[in-house]
Amino acid sequence: MSHPVIPIVANPEALKADGLGCHSGKDQLDAAARAAGKSETLDQYAQDYPKGPHDQPQSMCPAFGSLRVGLRMRRTATILSGSACCVYGLTFTSHFYGARRSVGYVPFDSESLVTGKLFEDIRDAVHKEANPDLYDAIVIINLCVPTASGVPLQILPKEINGVRIIGIDVPGFGVPTHAEAKDVLAGAMLRYARNEAGAGPVAAPRNGKSDKPTITLIGEMFPADPVTIGMMLEPMGLAAGPVVPTREWRELYAALDCAAVAAIHPFYTASVREFEAAGRQVIGSAPVGHDGTEAWLQAIGNSCNIGQAQIDAAKNRMLPAVRAALAAKPVKGRITLSGYEGSELLVARLLVESGADLRYVGTACPKTIHSAADLEWLNARGVHVQYRASLEQDIAAVHEFKPDLAIGTTPVVQAAKEMSIPGLYFTNLISARPLMGPAGAGSLAAVVNAAIGNKARMDDMKSFFGGTGIGDSAGVWEGKPQERPEFRTETRRRLEKAAKKRKAEEMI
Residues interacting with ligand SF4, by CB under 6 A? 21-22, 61, 63, 82-83, 86, 89, 143-144, 171-172
CA dist 179 and 59 (Å) reads: 10
Instruction: Tell me the closest approach of the beta carbon of residue 33 to ligand SF4, in angstroms.
Output: 12
Instruction: Identify which of residues 178 and 265 has a Cβ nearer to ligand SF4 in the complex.
Output: 178
Instruction: Tell me the closest approach of the beta carbon of residue 178 to ligand SF4, in angstroms.
Output: 9
Q: How many CA atoms, within 13 angstroms, populate the side-chain half-sphere of residue 34? A: 14
Instruction: Tell me the closest approach of the beta carbon of residue 84 to ligand SF4, in angstroms.
Output: 10
Instruction: Identify which of residues 21 and 167 has a Cβ nearer to ligand SF4 in the complex.
Output: 21
Instruction: Identify which of residues 33 and 421 has a Cβ nearer to ligand SF4 in the complex.
Output: 33
CA dist 391 and 59 (Å) reads: 9
Query: Does an H or E element contain 282, and which?
Result: strand 282-283
Instruction: Tell me the closest approach of the beta carbon of residue 19 to ligand SF4, in angstroms.
Output: 9
CA dist 308 and 269 (Å) reads: 30
Instruction: Tell me the closest approach of the beta carbon of residue 87 to ligand SF4, in angstroms.
Output: 8
Q: What order of strands is seen across the sheet that includes strand 357-363?
A: 384-386, 357-363, 334-339, 405-408, 423-425
With CA atoms as reference, report the closest residue to 56 among 183, 187, 184, 174: 174
Instruction: Tell me the closest approach of the beta carbon of residue 21 to ligand SF4, in angstroms.
Output: 3
Instruction: Tell me the closest approach of the beta carbon of residue 432 to ligand SF4, in angstroms.
Output: 24
3-class state of residue 138 by DSSP:
strand
Instruction: Identify which of residues 171 and 266 has a Cβ nearer to ligand SF4 in the complex.
Output: 171
Instruction: Identify which of residues 83 and 246 has a Cβ nearer to ligand SF4 in the complex.
Output: 83
Do residues 75 and 206 touch, judged by C-beta distance below 8 A?
Answer: no
Label the pairing between strands 282-283 and 384-386.
Answer: unpaired
Alpha helix stretches (DSSP H) within 130-222: 144-148, 178-199
Do residues 273 and 369 touch, judged by C-beta distance below 8 A?
Answer: no
CA dist 345 and 195 (Å) reads: 34
Instruction: Identify which of residues 87 and 348 has a Cβ nearer to ligand SF4 in the complex.
Output: 87
Instruction: Identify which of residues 83 and 363 has a Cβ nearer to ligand SF4 in the complex.
Output: 83
Instruction: Identify which of residues 177 and 386 has a Cβ nearer to ligand SF4 in the complex.
Output: 177
3-class state of residue 248 by DSSP:
coil
Instruction: Tell me the closest approach of the beta carbon of residue 148 to ligand SF4, in angstroms.
Output: 9
CA dist 175 and 156 (Å) reads: 22
Alpha carbon 185 to chain centroid distance?
Answer: 12
Alpha carbon 468 to chain centroid distance?
Answer: 36
CA dist 503 and 435 (Å) reads: 53
Q: What is the DSSP letter of 1?
A: -
Q: How many CA atoms, within 13 angstroms, populate the side-chain half-sphere of residue 372? A: 5
Q: For residue 200, what are the CA distances in angstroms to 160, 254, 277?
A: 19, 14, 17
Instruction: Tell me the closest approach of the beta carbon of residue 14 to ligand SF4, in angstroms.
Output: 11
Instruction: Identify which of residues 84 and 432 has a Cβ nearer to ligand SF4 in the complex.
Output: 84
Instruction: Tell me the closest approach of the beta carbon of residue 36 to ligand SF4, in angstroms.
Output: 16
Instruction: Tell me the closest approach of the beta carbon of residue 482 to ligand SF4, in angstroms.
Output: 36
CA dist 191 and 194 (Å) reads: 5
CA dist 118 and 116 (Å) reads: 5
Instruction: Identify which of residues 82 and 362 has a Cβ nearer to ligand SF4 in the complex.
Output: 82
With CA atoms as reference, report the closest residue to 395 among 378, 379, 413, 383: 413
3-class state of residue 81 by DSSP:
strand
Instruction: Identify which of residues 89 and 157 has a Cβ nearer to ligand SF4 in the complex.
Output: 89
